[in-house]
Amino acid sequence: MDFQTLQNQVCQEITSALSKVRDEEINELIDVLLSAEKVFVMGVGRVMLMMQSFAKRIKHMGIDSYVVGETVIPAISNKDVLLAGSGSGETITSVTVAQLAKKFGAKVALITAAKDSTLKKIADISVRIPSTTKRRLMKLKTPDEPTSVQPMTSLFEQALLIFGDCLSMILQKKLNLSEGEMWKAHANLE
């Protein structure tokens, strides 16, 4: 296959996955993020990279955000939210951290591709981006899980990045922040 054909297929897959995200789930997530004192994000592998990207962008908006696992992370409390990204909802590290967050009274929000999962049972709220997951390798694939021309879980990871950027734009508007104000919070030691 040539690049143009693949590019078209990949973009169509991302658009299709994101078009199925429910507005109610998005609005609930926005409310939770805006009401939290601190937002902690986590994921594993490439999902973590997408979650780090989201944490950085909301930090530019003045939302106190942290990436789980970093050395400067503060304690989580009942005023905070843990936002976990997990396509399958079964990633052991994410499940364990979500259980800890609940133990300390924090809300747990999940962005996932799975309809049902261990993490979804723990989470207070979840947003589903229907896409491919590693669940098919675990023989847990559901009939409504889409197929993809892309390898592994690339579709979820890419859709998660775009979802986070769109969510950031909604948050920016709700917070009435200009791009100039966001640039003031951007790193200047580069």
81, 54 contact by CB (below 8 A): no
Structure tokens at 77: 């409390």
DSSP letter string, 14-41: HHHHHHTS-HHHHHHHHHHHHH-S-EEE
DSSP letter string, 81-126: EEEEEESSS--HHHHHHHHHHHHTT-EEEEEES-SS-HHHHH-SEE
Question: Of 24, 28, 145, 157, which one is the catalytic site residue?
Answer: 157
Catalytic residue check, 157: yes
Say what the alpha-carbon torsion angle 51, 54, 59, 60 is, to the nearest 10 degrees: 150
Structure tokens at 163: 């979802």
Give the residue numbers annotated as catalytic, written as ranges.
157
